[in-house]
Amino acid sequence: MSTETTQLADAEAIACNLLGREFAERKEAITRELLAHVERVDELPDGFAYRFPAAEPWSAKVFDFIAAERQCCPFFTFEVVFGPNDGPLWLRLRGGADVMAFIAAELAGGDVSPAGRT
């Protein structure tokens, strides 16, 4: 496979399966229902980590998000970490530089990257 073909295949792999209106509606819902409540964002070497409150309903919301996103954005690696002693809940979206660029480009309006947080 040529380098150009490999780059094209990689670019196609980092794309949401939703298009047009469906994508816009999903993006708006994610921003409003989940990302607007992020307490902190940390950049990882291959993605981003999002801190949520430890209290309910956040674990349920994070797991619902993961279930939905696995269908439309199968290129993400998801990790959920519960801090000790009722510490914060962390959602990590991983996948490398292409995934980081996708998150920055598509979800920047939700302040989901460290650059978007002050």
pLDDT in tens, 71-84: 777 888 999 999 99
- Domain region containing 54: 3-116
Measured in degrees and rounded to the nearest 5, phi and psi for residue 54 equal -75, -25
Task: Give CA–CA dist 50/65, Å, rounded.
Answer: 13
Structural domains in the chain (count): 1
Q: What is the mean pLDDT of residues 100-107?
A: 80
Q: What is the mean pLDDT of residues 64-73?
A: 82
Ranking 4-8, 53-57, 103-107 by mean pLDDT, the lowest is 4-8
| pLDDT computed for residue 9 by the predictor | 40
CATH code: domain of residue 98: 3.30.1360
Q: Which residues contact 17 (CB under 8 A, 6 or more apart)?
A: 71, 72, 73, 74
| pLDDT computed for residue 78 by the predictor | 93
| pLDDT computed for residue 118 by the predictor | 37
- pTM recorded for the entire structure: 0.73
Residue 39 has pLDDT above 80, yes or no: yes
Residues 58 and 37: beta-carbon distance below 8 Å:
yes
